[in-house]
Amino acid sequence: MSSAALQIEGVGKTFATAGGAVEAVRGIEIEVAQGEFIAILGPSGCGKTTLLRMIGGLIAPSQGDVRMSGQSILSGGNAAEARLGELAFAFQESRLFPWFTIEENIALPLRLRGVSASERIKRSRDLCQLVGLKGFETARPSQLSGGMRQRASLARALSVSPKLLLLDEPFGALDAMTRDQMNIELQRICATTNATVVLITHSIAEAVFLADRVVVLTPRPGRIHAIHKIELPRPRTIDMQETPEFQNHVRAIRTDIAGYPS
């Protein structure tokens, strides 16, 4: 058995729609090591969200398989139970419940797992600290800014101590400055938790800033167009974005995208 945290093996997806079959994703093959950070870039509609949903087991692939720690993501029973505790999603919008406080929102996955109230409070307070929301534990989501709500949503995803974190453009709706800050935050969290991360983004700079490898997908059906290894030292800083090394990566990825098959 491979020691990879995540194996994406020849994964493809075709949707049956009223207008006929829509092939969204084709032949994706990637192995991801524990603690590795992968960013996925690609044009709108190329199949990124579909791929992420297959990685998380939310939808079944039409071809291929996804393995977490060697086990198929589609296997049921105890394996499915175990996987639930090891996997977390965060999305473009924060999806917090308005009638719960921030700490209640963050602890919700733990509550659903039957963790005791005292343990939940302790854990959600630690997470507030981790994502920079200390002092806002008892606030409601409506009292927070968009960036703070995204941080709360990230904290909720982290509440189960996921081995695998799946992020679908979590910072897409944020302004550039808040986004930079979230990227710094996310990098620090990843270093602390050693989670394996798959991040979908539309920003080349964000991908280069965060990732160990950047996967560039083709237009639909999404196939792997190129994989860039980013060997910039960590922790990465905002200033680093001005360096020739950083700029070279950005340029190389831009060139790849310009060379899409027609």
Ligand X SMILES: Nc1ncnc2c1ncn2[C@@H]1O[C@H](COP(=O)(O)OP(=O)(O)OP(=O)(O)O)[C@@H](O)[C@H]1O
Please report, as ranges, the residues that interact with ligand X according to CB under 6 A: 15, 17, 22, 24, 42, 44-50, 220
Residue 213 binds which of Mg ion, ligand X, none (CB < 5-8 A, kind-dependent): none
Phi, psi of 78 (to 5 degrees): -60, -35
Residue 43 or 132: the one with the smaller Cβ distance to Mg ion is 43
Residue 220 binds which of ligand X, Mg ion, none (CB < 5-8 A, kind-dependent): ligand X
Residue 50 binds which of ligand X, Mg ion, none (CB < 5-8 A, kind-dependent): ligand X
Residue 27 or 132: the one with the smaller Cβ distance to ligand X is 27
Cα–Cα dist 127/129, whole Å: 5
Percentages of the chain per state (helix, strand, coil), in multiples of 5: 40, 25, 35
Residue 142 binds which of ligand X, Mg ion, none (CB < 5-8 A, kind-dependent): none
Residue 12 or 141: the one with the smaller Cβ distance to ligand X is 12
Min CB(16)–ligand X separation in Å: 8
Residue 41 or 107: the one with the smaller Cβ distance to ligand X is 41
Phi, psi of 243 (to 5 degrees): -75, 155
Min CB(53)–ligand X separation in Å: 8
Residue 45 binds which of Mg ion, ligand X, none (CB < 5-8 A, kind-dependent): ligand X
Cα–Cα dist 238/184, whole Å: 8
Pairing of strands 20-32, 6-17: antiparallel
Helix 146-158 to helix 176-193 angle, to the nearest 10 degrees? 20
Min CB(49)–Mg ion separation in Å: 3
Min CB(23)–ligand X separation in Å: 8
Residue 47 binds which of Mg ion, ligand X, none (CB < 5-8 A, kind-dependent): ligand X
Pairing of strands 37-41, 196-200: parallel
C-beta of residue 144 within 8 angstroms of C-beta of residue 136: yes
Cα–Cα dist 209/184, whole Å: 9
Cα–Cα dist 48/40, whole Å: 7
Residue 47 or 141: the one with the smaller Cβ distance to ligand X is 47
Contact residues for Mg ion, defined by CB under 5 A: 49
Spatial strand order of the sheet with 6-17 comes to 20-32, 6-17, 63-68, 71-72
Min CB(92)–Mg ion separation in Å: 8
Helices marked H in 142-243 — which ranges? 146-158, 176-193, 204-210
Residue 134 or 254: the one with the smaller Cβ distance to ligand X is 254
Residue 15 binds which of ligand X, Mg ion, none (CB < 5-8 A, kind-dependent): ligand X
Residue 3 or 17: the one with the smaller Cβ distance to ligand X is 17
Min CB(208)–ligand X separation in Å: 18
C-beta of residue 70 within 8 angstroms of C-beta of residue 1: yes
Min CB(220)–ligand X separation in Å: 5
